Amino acid sequence: MTVGQALERAEELRPGCKVDSRTRQRWLCEEDGMLRALLFSGCGLRAGVGADLVWPAEGGLDDAVELLVPVPFDALYPHYLCAKLDAALGETERYTSRYRFLRKRHA
């Protein structure tokens, strides 16, 4: 999944986003960095792929940047973005519900 696809799918799941695109891109970068450290660091798989490796000094990520987690597990990205949006907007119940969904799905 690319950055653009993740942002687009998150917008479909949670329309009317009030959080800046660059902030949402940064969240994807942080998620890729965390996942790389936890799951991919010792195995060498997916080297050179991920938003955490290409975060620019200025501007945002290109929509074509490939995210770290491959198909079929890449569906986590839109749900992760939605959970972060819910938390940022103070929608605790929605955040908790979405976080539980992610935990169950990826446990």
If you search the block for the tokens 């945002």, which residue do you land on? 60
**pLDDT tens digit sequence for 74-102:** 999 999 999 999 888 888 888 888 777 77
Beta bridge partners of 66: 2
In this prediction the pTM is 0.85
Q: Is 56 exposed, middle or buried (0-12, 13-18, 19+ CB in 10 A)?
A: exposed
* Distance (Å, whole) CA 40 – CA 35: 7
For 19, 31, 52, 68, 93, the CA distances from 37, given in Å and listed in that order, are 26, 10, 11, 11, 29
The whole-angstrom separation of Cα 52 and Cα 29 is 4
Q: What string of DSSP letters covers 3-55?
A: HHHHHHHHHHHS-S--S-HHHHHHHHHHHHHHHIIIIITTT-TTTT-SGGG--
Tens digit of each residue's pLDDT (9 = 90 or more) over 3-51: 999 999 999 998 988 899 999 999 999 999 998 888 887 777 777 788 9
